């Protein structure tokens, strides 16, 4: 187990969410499932927690009920190699989710994600303050980030 592991409180859909995320990201899998009772069946009502990894990062999902919900104060950032990767993750995570702004989205479980180019700092940098402002304004006007549009400013 990692020293720090994100622990996510789901509204009784932790196993479903773990299956969803592990299907989207490479190097991902469900590690273990802890059941509430003795039945040991992997149906959502019997699952207390599910340990899973997404792209090698460990997570634990808890079927905690609807007392708490996710919000934008916590998000996960995906550093993408190219536009194809941005398009892939954006498409998968916005299915039944919501596009927000500047590369941010909320997936169908309410978790916020930032889908950004790995070289975002380089793309946004310019010694010319006017050009830097134009890049920032363009990025702020985007939902899904488009690398070529930022490069061409």
Q: What Cα–Cα distance (Å) separates residue 120 from each residue in 26, 102, 123, 132, 150?
A: 22, 11, 5, 13, 9
Let me know whether 54 and 80 are in one domain.
no
The answer to whether residues 10 and 64 touch, using CB atoms and an 8 Å cutoff, is yes
What's the token pair of residue 78? Answer: 């995906």
Residue 70 lies in a domain: no
Q: What's the pTM?
A: 0.91
Let me know whether 79 and 133 are in one domain.
yes
Let me know whether 143 and 94 are in one domain.
yes
Over 80: is that where the pLDDT of 81 sits? yes
- What residues make up the domain containing 91? 75-151
Let me know whether 92 and 147 are in one domain.
yes
Query: What's the CA gap between 57 and 5, in Å, rounded?
Result: 8
β 47-54/57-63 pair status: antiparallel
- State pLDDT tens for residues 14-65: 999 999 999 999 999 999 999 987 666 677 788 999 999 999 999 999 999 9
Let me know whether 84 and 41 are in one domain.
no
């Amino acid at each position: 187990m990692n020293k720090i592991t994100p622990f996510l409180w789901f509204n009784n859909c932790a196993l479903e969410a773990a299956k969803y995320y592990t299907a989207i990201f490479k190097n991902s899998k469900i590690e273990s499932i802890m059941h509430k009772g003795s039945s040991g069946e992997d149906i959502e009502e019997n699952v207390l927690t599910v340990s899973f990894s997404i792209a090698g990062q460990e997570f634990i999902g808890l079927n905690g009920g609807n007392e708490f919900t996710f919000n934008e104060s916590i998000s996960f950032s995906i550093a993408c190699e190219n536009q194809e990767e941005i398009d892939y993750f954006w498409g998968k995570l916005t299915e039944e989710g919501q596009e927000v702004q500047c590369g941010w989205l909320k997936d169908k479980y309410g978790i916020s994600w930032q889908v950004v180019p790995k070289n975002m700092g380089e793309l946004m940098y310019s010694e010319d303050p006017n050009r830097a402002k134009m890049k920032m304004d363009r990025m702020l006007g985007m939902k899904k980030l488009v690398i070529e549009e930022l490069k061409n400013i």
